[in-house]
Structure 1
Amino acid sequence: MTAFILVSGAHTGDWVWQETAARLREAGAEAHPATLTGMGDRRHEAGPDTGLETHVEDVVALIDRVGTPDVVLVGHCYGIHPVLGAAGRRPERIARIVYLDAGQPQDGDPALTLIPDQAVRDRLARATGPDARTGDDWLVPPPAPGEWHRWGSTAGVPEAALARLADRAAPQPLGTLTQPLRLTEAAAALPTTGILCTANGSSIAMVEQVLRMGDPRLLALVDPRVTFFELATGHWPMLSAPAELAEVLRRAATGEGHRLSAPAPEQPAHLRPFLLDATERPRERVGRVDLYLPDADGPRPAVVFVHGGPVPEAARPTPRDWPALIGYGRYVADQGAVGVTVDHRLHGLADYPRAAEDIAEAVELVRADPRVDGDRVALWYFSGGGLLSADRLAAPPPWLRCIAATYPVLQPPPSWGLTGSRFRPADALRSAGRLPFVLTRVGQEIPEIAATVEEFLAAAAECAAAVEVVDVPDARHGFETIDHTDQTRAAVRHAVRSVLGHLRS
């Protein structure tokens, strides 16, 4: 018999697992939902010294009380931190660790680094900084009613369950979120399963895409003892899909699930040749900016290409040396405009403000170049870089003649933590007026990204925005180096022709 120990996320307790635990027991398994110190019915037990170590000890004590030899530890959201800490104390008892829509914390990481709500992260950072106050600041209040979506998608959660979530939520002791995790080698070596909730913005396809980018932090995920499942629901599957969650947990305990493959030894997809021929002209490099200059006299319009991401800081080559961006820069220069590529610093989901500053600095550098017509500039965004278009859509400057986006993310998925009003192109579009927007949409898009494009297009229809869609039905995300067809070549030529037309009109 398998025994499941179920550890929930911040502000909640054992009650959230009620239906899932019942389903597991009906199937013949043991289910032991944990209520951590200060949570649920134990909220009165917490004090200023309650920290992550307290919750680790809670889980260790529960492991010791369970008589079944095979224990599967399930950590939802914050709960993965005490789960990993406890696994390091009792590795011989743990058959598998399940990451339920949880991050992948490393040794030394406090839980606050994985909180999706940026505003909460900033507030907690201030609370532990030199200006920290005293009194009741050791308690972090739960989200207000109606604000739980800031901690993750509430898709699929019935209204009654949402009301119960808000009513029974407990303040979280600050130390549980700020104390660093101590992850032992023994815990890191245990078999694991990741359950990704697609309505919260994560999927197996997205993990595989990042893995292909060469992020060394993800190489451990190709271990055959690591499996994955998806649930088509939001961040609280124990409330929105308890039966489905119980079934997936049972399968995970037996080692089932999708296994990732190591990146192929041949050239990675994003480093393969560009799909169009372009003149091999020299480029000028100034800091993080590369310029591809046309064979023409006098100031010329410019197209600034903004790569996607996040891209790991250690990735080599960096994006401006990728064949696709080099190809776009050269091809635009062949058409008589200045092609510009930028290595902005979008290395993690918290880096969007810094990346936006990098792009703004690059644009000012380009506009100040005497070979550029500073009043005729287009910005062209790719993939996760699409969120950076929101600033310009919200307040288009007179020099911006056009925005383009290719297979872009156009609204932040819930799990990305970008909960403020910035970096939301579908919302900002309502302020863009008649600014032309050329959108290249691929038919074989990752569903979680495709949903953001459809949300953007719905907003465009409501406000009659000047959006032109270039459809490429048979193409995939990153098609410029993986789908070399007549259809994809025609799409790139069409998009470039439209953008340059807006620059020259």
Structure 2
Amino acid sequence: MTAFVLVSGPFTGGWIWAEVVVRLRAAGAQAYAVTPAAMGGEGDRTRAADVDLETHIDDVLRVVDRVPTGADVVLVGHDYGIHPVLGAADRRPERIARVVYLDAGMPGDGDTALAALPDGPGLLARAGATGLVPPPRGERWRDWGSTAGLSEAHLDRLDRLAAPQPVRTLTQPLRLTGSPFDRPTTGVLCTANGSGIGMVEAMVANGPARLRVLTGPHVRFFELGTGHWPMLSEPGPLAGILLRAAAGEGRRLDLPEAGPGAPHGAGAYDPAHPVDFPVDAPECPHERQGRLDLHLPRAEGPRPAVLFVHGGPVSPDQRPRPGRTPVLLGYGRYAASLGLVGASVDHRLYDLTDYPRAARDVAEAVDALRADPRVDGDRIALWFFSGGGLLAADWLSAEPRPWLRCVALTYPVLAPPPSWRAVDARFRPVAAVTAAGAAAPPVVLTRVGREHAVFAATVEEFVTAAATARAEVEPVDVPGARHGFETLDPERADEAREAITRAAGAVVRRLTA
């Protein structure tokens, strides 16, 4: 017998699981939907000041302890619900057969739920003296995840039954004595919310080292083609996936082959299996200055410069650093062969919360580059890759920068997917180009035909916004290529070479006009 214990995300209680519970029980399983303290709506008189994360962990434990001995307990945590789920699993390890992360993050010991939210100070301010964060209403539910698949009736139900969230459930650190991945684990990714198995594979290959636990032998994944509340939008398919997860089914991660060398999420670089950049460029003088790598042309006088900005998040312990991987070395040398100073910056985008810090690193690199006597500080281009595309928002504004001749974007992310809630609201290139309109710097945009669907949607949104705002965008389309095409597809080297030379040519024209 399998017993599912279901714990929902913020502002919701056990009511949200009603249709899933019916289907699980019809399939012969036990199912218990937890309503944590203070989350029961108007009839719940629990004092918010008395409720914290430990309170909610105790709520889950009381349900677990009611499950008959011998049943395989599967804990399911949605969004914030993964915090009390992991706390309960840590305290009753002998009872828990599996933990399911339903469109949830990966908190560890010492982490707070607030840390994964973009406007933590704002949430605390809204809680005020009451100690309660008011629930969203109407369109504001989108701030907490994609509402794809939800009907008006679903949204009305959320509005009607949502409860304020006790602020201490978000601010109290989760305390664990062991690794959450020491037991069988399943991740259920809601693709309309910006997650997918392919994206997770890319993040594991190049992201923070803590993600490598996702390659463990007891970790499995499923995808659901819906938004952030599948228990409302797809209760039948979700129940089916939970039953399959309990049976140990699901996909293990299939990591890219070693050797792509792309510091922007395409795959891990393995020095034992080097790969060639598609465009041949001769060796040139190469200097390292702080976070900057400089590739210098064999030419006299101050030269125009292009600063390459890698994507991410990348692991802080990645070696070699992004600027020394084949992709950025290749772009830097190629820029130098065209008579430019080709520079790259090793910024510190190690997590989704690091965009402000990475933006400071990029701004400092721009200042250092413009101050170099070998650089013509009035002729600068910035070239962003993948997740680094969000950093372009600062440079797409209408602020007068006559020295910024163009912004180049290659397979970029141009709006945070819904699941990237931790990204600061400042980093919205779509919003930036909409506001700047024709005053935005010219954009050279390289689009790949085999892009991750969630990333491709942000690119199309950007193109549409730029056209409406009359901003200048020159597209470079690579129909058969995928994210990280420079080194991922050696069999398509000719197509990659043509795309790189076309994009570089467009940048050079604007730098030398």
Query: With structure 1 as the length reference, what TM-score do the two structures score?
Result: 0.94
Cα distance in 2 for partners of 1:197, 1:188 equals 21
Cα distance in 1 for partners of 2:478, 2:128 equals 58
Match of 2:4 in 1: 4
Structure 2 segments unaligned to the other structure (5+ residues): 262-266, 270-274
Match of 1:52 in 2: 53
1:487 aligns with 2:495: yes
Contact kept? 1:43, 1:170, Cα under 8 Å = no
Cα distance in 2 for partners of 1:481, 1:43 equals 57
Contact kept? 2:292, 2:343, Cα under 8 Å = yes
Equivalent runs, 1:68-467 vs 2, <5 Å: 69-115=71-117, 118-119=118-119, 121-123=120-122, 135-136=129-130, 138-185=131-178, 188-213=181-206, 215-261=208-254, 269=267, 271=269, 272-396=275-399, 397-417=401-421, 422-430=426-434, 431-433=436-438, 435-467=441-473
Cα distance in 2 for partners of 1:49, 1:316 equals 47
CA drift of 1:134 comes to: 7.8
CA drift of 1:265 comes to: 6.3
Question: What's the CA shift string for 1:115-135, capped at 9, x where partnerless?
Answer: 3xx11x1245779xxxxx984
Match of 2:264 in 1: none
Match of 1:498 in 2: 506
Match of 2:272 in 1: none
- The one-letter code of the counterpart of 1:106 is G
284-293 or 257-266: bigger deviation: 257-266
Query: Aligned in 2, Cα 1:220/1:232: closer, same or farther, shift over 3 Å?
Result: same
Contact kept? 2:353, 2:424, Cα under 8 Å = no
SS of equivalent to 1:147: helix
Cα distance in 1 for partners of 2:37, 2:74 equals 21
Match of 1:130 in 2: none
Cα distance in 1 for partners of 2:466, 2:289 equals 36
Cα distance in 1 for partners of 2:243, 2:151 equals 24
CA drift of 1:275 comes to: 1.7
- The one-letter code of the counterpart of 1:427 is A
SS of equivalent to 1:305: strand
Cα distance in 1 for partners of 2:207, 2:419 equals 22
CA drift of 1:321 comes to: 1.1
Contact kept? 2:437, 2:469, Cα under 8 Å = no
CA drift of 1:266 comes to: 6.4
Cα distance in 1 for partners of 2:129, 2:443 equals 51
Corresponding pairs, count = 496
CA drift of 1:270 comes to: 5.0
CA drift of 1:357 comes to: 1.5
Query: Aligned in 2, Cα 1:186/1:428: closer, same or farther, shift over 3 Å?
Result: closer
Query: Aligned in 2, Cα 1:231/1:134: closer, same or farther, shift over 3 Å?
Result: closer
Cα distance in 1 for partners of 2:129, 2:417 equals 36
Query: Aligned in 2, Cα 1:348/1:254: closer, same or farther, shift over 3 Å?
Result: same
SS of equivalent to 2:139: coil
CA drift of 1:499 comes to: 0.5
Cα distance in 2 for partners of 1:437, 1:16 equals 45
CA drift of 1:204 comes to: 0.6
Query: Aligned in 2, Cα 1:270/1:149: closer, same or farther, shift over 3 Å?
Result: same
Query: With structure 2 as the length reference, what TM-score do the two structures score?
Result: 0.92
Contact kept? 2:184, 2:218, Cα under 8 Å = yes
Match of 2:25 in 1: 25
SS of equivalent to 1:235: coil
Query: Aligned in 2, Cα 1:444/1:263: closer, same or farther, shift over 3 Å?
Result: closer
Cα distance in 1 for partners of 2:61, 2:236 equals 27
- The one-letter code of the counterpart of 1:36 is P
- The one-letter code of the counterpart of 1:30 is Q
Cα distance in 1 for partners of 2:424, 2:92 equals 41
Contact kept? 1:305, 1:342, Cα under 8 Å = yes
SS of equivalent to 2:77: strand
Query: Aligned in 2, Cα 1:104/1:418: closer, same or farther, shift over 3 Å?
Result: closer
- The one-letter code of the counterpart of 1:76 is H
CA drift of 1:26 comes to: 2.0
SS of equivalent to 1:433: helix
Query: Aligned in 2, Cα 1:267/1:293: closer, same or farther, shift over 3 Å?
Result: closer
Give the fraction of aligned pairs with identical amino acids, expressed as a percent: 58
CA drift of 1:146 comes to: 2.4
Query: Aligned in 2, Cα 1:463/1:39: closer, same or farther, shift over 3 Å?
Result: same
Contact kept? 1:91, 1:186, Cα under 8 Å = no
- The one-letter code of the counterpart of 2:327 is A
Structure 1 segments unaligned to the other structure (5+ residues): 128-132
CA drift of 1:467 comes to: 1.1
Query: Aligned in 2, Cα 1:260/1:383: closer, same or farther, shift over 3 Å?
Result: same
SS of equivalent to 2:80: helix
CA drift of 1:114 comes to: 2.3
CA drift of 1:236 comes to: 0.8
C-alpha RMSD of matched pairs (Å) = 2.0
Cα distance in 2 for partners of 1:153, 1:501 equals 40
Contact kept? 2:207, 2:314, Cα under 8 Å = no
14-23 or 262-271: bigger deviation: 262-271
Contact kept? 2:370, 2:377, Cα under 8 Å = yes
Cα distance in 1 for partners of 2:444, 2:454 equals 21
Query: Aligned in 2, Cα 1:302/1:10: closer, same or farther, shift over 3 Å?
Result: same
Contact kept? 2:74, 2:97, Cα under 8 Å = yes
Query: Aligned in 2, Cα 1:187/1:277: closer, same or farther, shift over 3 Å?
Result: closer
Cα distance in 2 for partners of 1:472, 1:265 equals 23
